[in-house]
Chain A
């Protein structure tokens, strides 16, 4: 490979080899045989249809309280062949044929999945998670707690998430204070760093997070964030904003920069946010944050991840007829991740870099870039997901690097469903889930740089010009974009300036003789929107007569002529269909 000749690539290869050696012979927990029969596992990993059904089943499982129904649903999703997956050794197939057996099997399935969940979720509550978190620390791994939960759809649920965050911080702060000192985990190039880190899901802090309303979104989030932040400052603890779906990205960055510029919070040095390399705007966002953080004066953490919402975001944007803001190909995301790595590592006077990755090439590339700049290793840290990619966890720890585990805490079954949705069903995560991956590929392949040549871009979904035969809906405006919001406000202002006028209508040359119709603003009934002449019964007679006359020629026009009248783009933003 020609790239190997470049100095950076040869460093990547050298370090990659070392990391691979350090990870060799270890099995990711997901593939341990205590859960799965090997045949079932192969079935799940090789048959993507079966895998999807399995994930869907795990997704619905927490909702089901009735054990017999668990078995019934398992059959609906997986067929009879699926039951052995949850433990052939118990003979579930035979058992579940009877009603008593079905109840037992339902319990067995549930406990299987709960058991599996324990590998990915540190505990159902923060109390329960404290011992495993302590163990991690003793083993030399830092952590960032992520509180799992249902989506926030009301103010009460937003308040509850705020309270859970506050409780988690105080409990973990108390617990962690008594832990032994771990110099590698407690200091970076800018000074001491807290033992406690909480990752926050901003959408859980408000039912009113809506890109159309940045102001209201900010207010409703900030009011609940402040108590969390006040406590984090006192402890101290780090707070990292998780990044979510693409349509809230700009909103989250905006909330982050507004809140941490407030006088009470601008000196807090442990704020951070996750940024996604699969997003086309991330380089620009980082540039913007750099300008902002220099003005602010105290540093922030950037957790660089590849992004976990590719599949759902891509579908959602295409469904709406919007250009997808994410890179289409994994190689583009990987390339972007590498260039963002360069950017972040060149700005470490104001950035605390955290790299979320489970990819050997990416790990080696980060090391190579840092080495080329001559950064001391405490400057950056790696973040991996609790319970995943253990061989690489082991490798970077033994390579002497700071490792932090993103650690979900929450009820096991719902948490497992969440993980299935977020992590396992994401096609871009598949590679690190495959046991054979590292073992079955030559290092030169695993460590090769991403290749952009030859990638094809999908043509835009919506044709640019509408042919006569093709109908397409004009996409609705994307109010996550500031220009769309401004255009909307502008349009409202324009209409407002015309309120109360009297309009004369084109009624086939008729002068309408009925009374004036007054249209009023339902939000402010005193306000007249418009006055219009209406028709009288005599006008109806006239109108029909003219229409009958007009038909004489209109009926003889061809359909081609009739569809040939092209109304201007005024139609483009007609109201949403029913």
Chain B
């Protein structure tokens, strides 16, 4: 979808300045907007579809994320080619079936499951106008590069909406309610086995409470029930596949060399499990403090002050979600101003953004700054 500025009597098509694809239904008032009325002129902004949209969605939310990306492109008048991740293709199948059952004309939505080669072929295709992507930083940057390379027959600059990774931090200061802070950190880093772009992977804790925080955190993590997700009491399930498991285990080995192991979860059984693992005394330069692991791994760092905690929190390439547990009004205000993330959560867990309530998306290497699930453009 793109916007055009039609000046009264001039008719020139202006620049494309749309900053995001809406997840969910497009508000009616997006259709046209009077920019201004001057004597003798009526200036309007009209929205038109851009053309074929490739939706490349991740495995971890195989229904929620593509539902937003696919429906947003469709309601704004763009046909969609939808490539779900080959690691969890079945929900995309059902999404497509449901939309067709609702009466969507065939051809407007094409479900195209496949691996990276299919994604690449779509991105490079000259007739693709828009690419809506959610996934890893490396794949996202590759898409931005490919999309910027002109191919024969292409007559439109491709627009890429990319939502990539995170290295999200929660700051816990000395005024925090530790009951809330520890449960919030634990659920944010172990929920869904840490496989959310919004998941917490760093806890930055004020020196005054560092030891007591670690002491209670260790016990809380050790008490988690890891196992078969079909059991209702299970709190941490497996990771998606062997590739993910190996990558996370590699990071655990790296963390052991870099920092102190506070908890190392052990899991028996044949599934692709990784026990929740916490490293303490992590330095900001450590790889476990910088790289996205996408598993139930937490790096805990000590900060001498709230200012220093903010500096540490902002010291990665990512800027997606972040959280603060504090009961100091001044520190809450400071976090609002200085915590450089797309979604900042105060005194609550940092995952679970809801459409319409917490428009979602980050900047820096976490994405292109678009917000999904919000009304404003």
Give the B-binding residues of A (Cβ under 8 A). 56, 59-60, 63-66, 69, 73, 76-77, 150-151, 153-157, 207-208, 210, 212-213, 215-217, 468-469, 471-473, 479, 485, 488-489, 492, 503, 505-510, 512, 514, 517, 519-526, 529-530, 532-537, 539-541, 543-551, 553-555, 557, 559-560, 562-563, 565-568, 570-571, 574-578
Q: Roughly how many angstroms separate A400 CA and B6 CA in the complex, as a whole number?
A: 87
B31 on the interface (CB 8 Å rule)? yes
B51 touches A73 (CB 8 A): no
A64 touches B174 (CB 8 A): yes
Kindly identify which residue among B78, B105, B112, B220 contacts A553, using a CB–CB cutoff of 8 Å: B105
B127 touches A565 (CB 8 A): no
Residues of B within 8 A of A210 (CB): 232-233
Q: Which residue of B lies closest to A524 (CB)?
A: B271
B214 on the interface (CB 8 Å rule)? no
B223 touches A155 (CB 8 A): yes
Q: Roughly how many angstroms separate A56 CA and B177 CA in the complex, as a whole number?
A: 11
Which of the 9-residue segments B13-21, B92-100, B252-260 touches chain A?
B92-100
A154 touches B222 (CB 8 A): yes
Given contacts A505-B113, A547-B81, A577-B352, contact A153 B220 (CB under 8 A): yes
B179 touches A574 (CB 8 A): no
A575 touches B113 (CB 8 A): no
CB<8 Å pairs between A and B, sample of 5 = A76-B328, A208-B223, A537-B121, A548-B127, A570-B98
Given contacts A519-B90, A565-B103, contact A526 B329 (CB under 8 A): no
Q: Roughly how many angstroms separate A481 CA and B272 CA in the complex, as a whole number?
A: 31
B77 on the interface (CB 8 Å rule)? yes
Which of the 9-residue segments B33-41, B143-151, B237-245, B289-297 touches chain A?
B237-245
CB within 8 Å of A: which B61-75 residues:
61-65, 67, 74-75
B219 on the interface (CB 8 Å rule)? yes
B327 touches A59 (CB 8 A): yes
Residues of B within 8 A of A530 (CB): 89-90, 93
Q: Which residue of B lies closest to A557 (CB)?
A: B77
Residues of B within 8 A of A563 (CB): 25-26, 75
Q: Roughly how many angstroms separate A495 CA and B134 CA in the complex, as a whole number?
A: 27
Residues of B within 8 A of A544 (CB): 52, 81, 122, 125, 127-128
B327 touches A63 (CB 8 A): yes
Q: Which residue of B lies closest to A522 (CB)?
A: B238
Residues of B within 8 A of A155 (CB): 219, 222-223
Q: Say how far A154's CB is from chain B's closest CB, in angstroms.
A: 3
Residues of A within 8 A of B127 (CB): 544-545, 547-548
A514 touches B174 (CB 8 A): no
Closest 10 interchain pairs by CB? Answer: A154-B219, A550-B107, A216-B233, A213-B233, A508-B110, A151-B179, A60-B327, A522-B238, A547-B79, A523-B271
Q: How large is the interface on B (under 10, 10 to 19, 20 to 34, 35 or more residues)?
A: 35 or more
B270 touches A526 (CB 8 A): yes
Q: Roughly how many angstroms separate A559 CA and B87 CA in the complex, as a whole number?
A: 34
Residues of B within 8 A of A512 (CB): 112-113
Q: Roughly how many angstroms separate A406 CA and B26 CA in the complex, as a whole number?
A: 56
Q: Which residue of A lies closest to B96 (CB)?
A: A506
A578 touches B61 (CB 8 A): yes
Given contacts A471-B355, A519-B89, A578-B353, contact A63 B177 (CB under 8 A): yes
Give the A-binding residues of B (Cβ under 8 A). 24-28, 30-31, 48-49, 51-52, 61-65, 67, 74-81, 83, 86-90, 93-94, 96-115, 117-118, 121-122, 125, 127-128, 174-179, 182-183, 186, 196-198, 208-209, 216, 219-220, 222-223, 225, 227-233, 237-242, 270-272, 327-330, 351-357, 360, 373
Q: Say how far B116's CB is from chain A's closest CB, in angstroms.
A: 12
B219 touches A567 (CB 8 A): no
Q: Roughly how many angstroms separate A532 CA and B89 CA in the complex, as a whole number?
A: 8
Question: By CB atoms of chain B within 10 A, which of A150, A488, A517 has the most?
Answer: A517
Residues of B within 8 A of A154 (CB): 216, 219-220, 222-223
Residues of B within 8 A of A73 (CB): 175, 327-328
Q: Roughly how many angstroms separate A395 CA and B37 CA in the complex, as a whole number?
A: 76
Residues of A within 8 A of B99 (CB): 565, 567
Q: Say how far B185's CB is from chain A's closest CB, in angstroms.
A: 11
Q: Roughly how many angstroms separate A155 CA and B220 CA in the complex, as a whole number?
A: 7
B113 touches A532 (CB 8 A): yes
Q: Say how far A509's CB is from chain B's closest CB, in angstroms.
A: 6
B241 touches A522 (CB 8 A): yes
Q: Roughly how many angstroms separate A522 CA and B88 CA in the complex, as a whole number?
A: 11
Q: Roughly how many angstroms separate A505 CA and B91 CA in the complex, as a whole number?
A: 11
Q: Say how far A238's CB is from chain B's closest CB, in angstroms.
A: 28
Q: Which residue of A lies closest to B80 (CB)?
A: A547
Q: Roughly how many angstroms separate A492 CA and B230 CA in the complex, as a whole number?
A: 7
Q: Which residue of A lies closest to B88 (CB)?
A: A519
Q: Say how far B99's CB is from chain A's closest CB, in angstroms.
A: 6
Q: Say how far A73's CB is from chain B's closest CB, in angstroms.
A: 6
Kindly identify which residue among A506, A514, A551 contacts B79, using a CB–CB cutoff of 8 Å: A551
B220 touches A562 (CB 8 A): no
Q: Roughly how many angstroms separate A149 CA and B318 CA in the complex, as a whole number?
A: 38
Question: By CB atoms of chain A within 10 A, which of B96, B111, B373 has the most?
Answer: B111
Q: Say how far A169's CB is from chain B's closest CB, in angstroms.
A: 25
Residues of B within 8 A of A555 (CB): 48-49, 77-78
Q: Say how far A4's CB is from chain B's closest CB, in angstroms.
A: 49
